Structure formats: structure tokens, C-alpha cells
Chain A
Amino acid sequence: MSSVENMVRDYIVQNILFSSNGYPYQDDTSFLENGIIDSMNVLELVMFVEQKFGVKVEDAEIVPDNFDSIIKLSAFIRRKQELTTASSS
């Protein structure tokens, strides 16, 4: 399992679900459909992504396609990291 997924899952478990039994959903489970995150949590997640992965998230990127499951968010982070690396090299 790649480390981006693990880090995102850990963050949600520790800071949003406050769970002691790990992440009780699948990685493709929709955050929105299952009430896993709310509008406040999204802002926290954006801050987490920016700080932890060193990428800048634009307002228009905070949409379900990028933020609605562990898989989608991890893919988004990787895309952003590649762009950042490409532009700085």
C-alpha cells in the first residue's frame, strides 16, 4: 500500500473520525455519501494536504472528483506533486 494513501487514512482516523479501530470504510467509500467529512473537515483536509505534501490547492480543485474518497484524494495529491516537481525542475 502506497504511503500517500496511508498518510491520508491516518490523518482522517486521527483528526476527523477520532477512531481507535482504524479506518472502518473502504478506500473508495464516498466521504460525502457516508457523512465521513463535513464542510469544516474539508478545510482541515486542504490544510493537511498543503502542509504535508507541499502542494497548493486551488479553491476550484476542492471538488468531489479530488476529495471524496481516500483513493481520489491520494490520486489528486500525486498529480499535484508531479506537477510541482515538473515545474520546479
Chain B
Amino acid sequence: MLVQEFLERSALRTPDKVALVCDGKRFTYAQIEKSANRIANFLTNKGLKRGDRVVVYLPNCEEAISSLFGILKAGGVFVMLNPTTKYDKVVQILNNCQASAIIALEKDLEFFKRVRVDVFSILAMIQVDHLNKVANSEVVAGLSAYSEIMAFSGEQQPKKVNIDLDLACLVYTSGSTGDSKGVMSDHSNVDFATSSIISYLENTAEDIVINCLPLSFDYGLYQLLMVFKFGGTLILEKGFVFPAAILSQIHAERVTGFPGVPTIFALLLHLDISQFDLSSLRYITNTAAALPVSHILQLRDKFPGVKLFSMYGLTETKRTLYLPPEELNNRPGSVGIAIPGTEVWLEDEAGTRLGNGQTGELVVRGRHVMRGYWNAPEASAARFRPGSLPNERVCHTGDLFRSDEDGFYYFVSRKDDIIKTRGEKVSPVELERVLYGINGVVKAAVIGVEDDVLGQAIKAILVSQNPLLTQKDVLGYLRNHVEDYMVPKYVEFVPDLPVSESGKILKRDLK
């Protein structure tokens, strides 16, 4: 099944059903289907070819969803970009994936003018103007207004141009080398992963799922894809900034499914939720980072009768493990077993398969093992290695796990130094590179420190030759240069940092 058929089939089956609630508006499957067709026909007319990449640089909104399906209908590959990404990184990703088009909410036409100059591959740019404040798109060559596409582009469903082995999306993720890598998923990967997750969550068309996670994050993206596949309703929020508003929304929309990350649940546990009617909730899911056992037990007590799923995954295989809720009382620290239709095992450094009760690297086999990293054959070969059958690939996660005697898995640690904060991956190398751009910084080390709410908090330790440089200067610089979740909680100045003989900063000594 092709990913755009998730929408098309639901639109055929239940055209008038509300598919999406967002920004106070309700959208039916038929409405989104038409909008997606208009985007597809527009992109095709602009010259988009099968397999071409289109970047969606939008906050969570209806336009992001219609764009995503429109890109697929045109035979393209969608790339969702976090809306807090700063210009230099946007250009880096556009150039990395050789994007043919970008769909963005920039009110500032300067942005589009610069993209036109800095990215040679761009054929078309679409400015989402749902605030109706936009201006004259004639000013920038190649720029079209989203509202004009909705008014003038054809709403007929375009002819299918791809098959399920074609790429559906690239999901950019932080790597330990500091450069973001685009994980390539083909349609069959997404189709398989969504079906497997839907089967253990026992989703039906009756489910109403609230999503506060960005669509650029695969966990947020898959909420949309799964809901459209099983024909449910998605309540799309801009974030978890106002927890009480989200809880009110759960009540008002009779939400049944609530996916979150440890930071969201830590914030929830601080709230008196007794004043909210949350009786519609059927399940809660956690992934992106392990929930502390104490939080799991408190959540279980705060949400009696709600199934709590502890899960683990990485973008390279989407979801990997889940703990069946009935096991939660027996093994609250476990993230479970392989998702349906897949298998996992542990290997030692020599590549020997380990038995139950041992600790080693988690290796994953199944049709959710993605197609590799875009344009990065070496990184792909390290992560996606040959399996036992000819031409088969398995994913070496780089994460250490232990298993108990019954074969349930427990996260131990990462093999690299990637920091997981608020459920997002942050590469210390990437952040250090930015820190070295600050006038006066001569040494920079970024580490993760344990934090009750964030999971890990980011700490930047700096040696500065500029006596006037303050913490505020550093944080202000970072706010303008990196995504919001990458801004450190702590900045510390030290006289010097320990280095190895080869000149590498010894971070182990800092923790």
C-alpha cells in the first residue's frame, strides 16, 4: 500500500468524517483529499518528478498535512523540517536532499529570496498564508501562495506514478558526527511499521488521537499516518506548552489516545489533573527516552484504567520495542519485546548473538528497517549491515540493552555520546561547532546531565578568552543559531578543559 492511500481510502470510505481538528477548525477526509490533490497537481505542473524531494517547513497545521499527502500523490518524497530550525541549517538540509520545492510559513519574503539563491535545485516555493497577511507573491520568482493553489489548482486525484519500493520520506536525525542525516523510508517501510503499531495499540476508526509532538519528529509524524490509515480523528496541537489546555482538549474532543515523551509526562505529574475529565482516554504511549520507573508508577496511579505503553525506537526502524501493558506491573523498567512481525536480539562487540539475561547491542530485523541514510553510504553501511539471508539488511541500533530471563528488554545506555533531551536527539559535536562560532570561545564541551523533567539537560562548558562574554550572550547566540530544544539549560565557564594527547577534550572527566 502506498502512504497516500492511507488518506485516499479513508476519504473514499468516510468522506464526511472529521479527520483533523487543528487551530480551532475541523477538516473532513474529503476536504484534505481535495487539498492534497491540489498540491499534487500544482507540483506536477511545476515539473516535480517521481522521487523528487519536497521540504515542508511548517508548524503543526492542516497545510502541513495536505502538503505531505500532496507531495506523495505527485510521486515525490516529503521531508518534514522542525519549524524552529534556523536558516543555515534549513539551507544545509535543502541542499543535502537536493530539494525541488519548499513549503514554508515565512512571513518574510527575504527568506524565499535567499533560498532561491542558496539552493540551486529549487523549482518551486510555496508560502503558506493562512494568516491572510501575505503579500504579493509576484515579488519573488518561483514563489506561489498556498491560498492561490487552493483556489486555482485542480482537485482531481492525479494518476499514480510510484510503487511501494519508492521513497516516501526522509526523516532527518542527529548523528554523532554532528551532521544531520536523512533516514530514507520507502512506502512499504511506512506501511509495515504503521500496521504493526496499529495492531498492538488495537486502534480502530473510533480512536481519537491527540498529537502535541512536531510532525518533523517521526513519533509525531506517525500519529498522523496511523490515524489516517485506520480512519480515526487526529487532534493536532502546536506543542505541550499549555498542559491545562491540552487536558481540556482531551475532555472536549473525547480523546482516546495520548502519545507523549518523558518531559510531557513529567510536566503532567506536577499538575492536579483531578479537575479534568479524562475518562475517554484508552491508552497512553511513551517513547523517545525511557520513563523513570517512579514516573511510570505515578502515571499508572493517575490514569487508572488507561493502558500505558512503554516503547523504544529509533528513526532508522521507526518503532522497535513495546511493552504489552499487562506486563507493566511485573517489569515497569522494561521497554518490552519486538513489535509484531519483527525480531530483535543482542550482540556482543564481536558480533556474537547473546542469550537472555545478557547485555549487548540491540540488533533489529524486519520490514521496518529503513533504506539507509540519504547520500551517506558509509554511515548507512555502519548502521544497516548484512543479515543472514542474501541481500538482507539488519539495523545495528548502537544502543546497549539487557534482557531478562523471559526475553524482555531493558535500555542500558547509548554507545555514542548523543544527548536525549525532551525526547529529541542532540549531537554534542553539532552544538560545539556552533559554540566555536562565538567570539572568544576557544574550547567547548557539551554534555548531558540527568534531569527529572528533561531526561537529560544540556550543559555547555566553555573556555573563553573574552572576559566580557556572559552566559546570557551564549544563550542569546544559540537561540538565534540552533533549534529551540538544543539551547542548553546550563552554561559554565571554566579556566581550562582536560584534553587527551591528541588534543581531544576528555568529556568523561567532566561528568
Residue ranges of A at the interface with B (Cβ–Cβ < 8 Å): 14, 17-20, 31-33, 35, 37-40, 42-43, 59-64, 67-68
A-B contact pairs, 19 of them (CB 8 A): A18-B475, A19-B476, A19-B479, A20-B473, A32-B239, A32-B241, A33-B238, A35-B84, A35-B484, A38-B239, A39-B241, A39-B243, A40-B454, A43-B267, A61-B244, A63-B248, A64-B245, A67-B242, A68-B242
Residues in chain B near residue A17, CB distance under 8 A? 476, 479
Given contacts A18-B475, A60-B275, A37 and B243 within 8 Å (CB-CB):
no
Shortest Cβ distance from residue A70 to the other chain B in the assembled complex, whole angstroms: 16
The 4 closest A-B pairs by CB, nearest first: A18-B476, A18-B475, A63-B245, A59-B271
Given A32-B238, A35-B484; 11 other pairs, CB 8 A cutoff:
A18-B472, A19-B476, A33-B238, A39-B241, A42-B241, A42-B242, A43-B267, A59-B244, A60-B244, A62-B243, A63-B248
Give chain B's interface secondary structure class: helix
In chain B, positions 65-121 with a C-beta closer than 8 Å to chain A are: 83-84
Per a CB cutoff under 8 Å, which of B239, B263, B271, B472 touches A14?
A: B472
Shortest Cβ distance from residue B434 to the other chain A in the assembled complex, whole angstroms: 14
Residue ranges of B at the interface with A (Cβ–Cβ < 8 Å): 59, 83-84, 238-245, 248, 263-264, 267, 271-272, 275, 453-454, 472-473, 475-476, 479, 484-485
Given contacts A14-B472, A17-B479, A38-B239, A62 and B484 within 8 Å (CB-CB):
no
Residues in chain A near residue B453, CB distance under 8 A? 40
In angstroms, Cα B26 to Cα A52, docked, is: 40
In angstroms, Cα B453 to Cα A59, docked, is: 17
Shortest Cβ distance from residue B142 to the other chain A in the assembled complex, whole angstroms: 26
Contact of A38 with B484 in the complex, beta carbons under 8 Å: yes
In angstroms, Cα B264 to Cα A23, docked, is: 28
In angstroms, Cα B240 to Cα A14, docked, is: 23
In angstroms, Cα B243 to Cα A67, docked, is: 12
Closest to A37 in B: B241
Residues in chain A near residue B242, CB distance under 8 A? 32, 42, 62-64, 67-68
Residues in chain A near residue B245, CB distance under 8 A? 63-64
Shortest Cβ distance from residue B440 to the other chain A in the assembled complex, whole angstroms: 15
Interface centre among A18, A60, A63, A67 (most CB of B within 10 A): A18
Residues in chain B near residue A62, CB distance under 8 A? 242-244
In angstroms, Cα B59 to Cα A32, docked, is: 10
Residues in chain A near residue B248, CB distance under 8 A? 63
In angstroms, Cα B454 to Cα A53, docked, is: 28
Residues in chain A near residue B275, CB distance under 8 A? 59-60
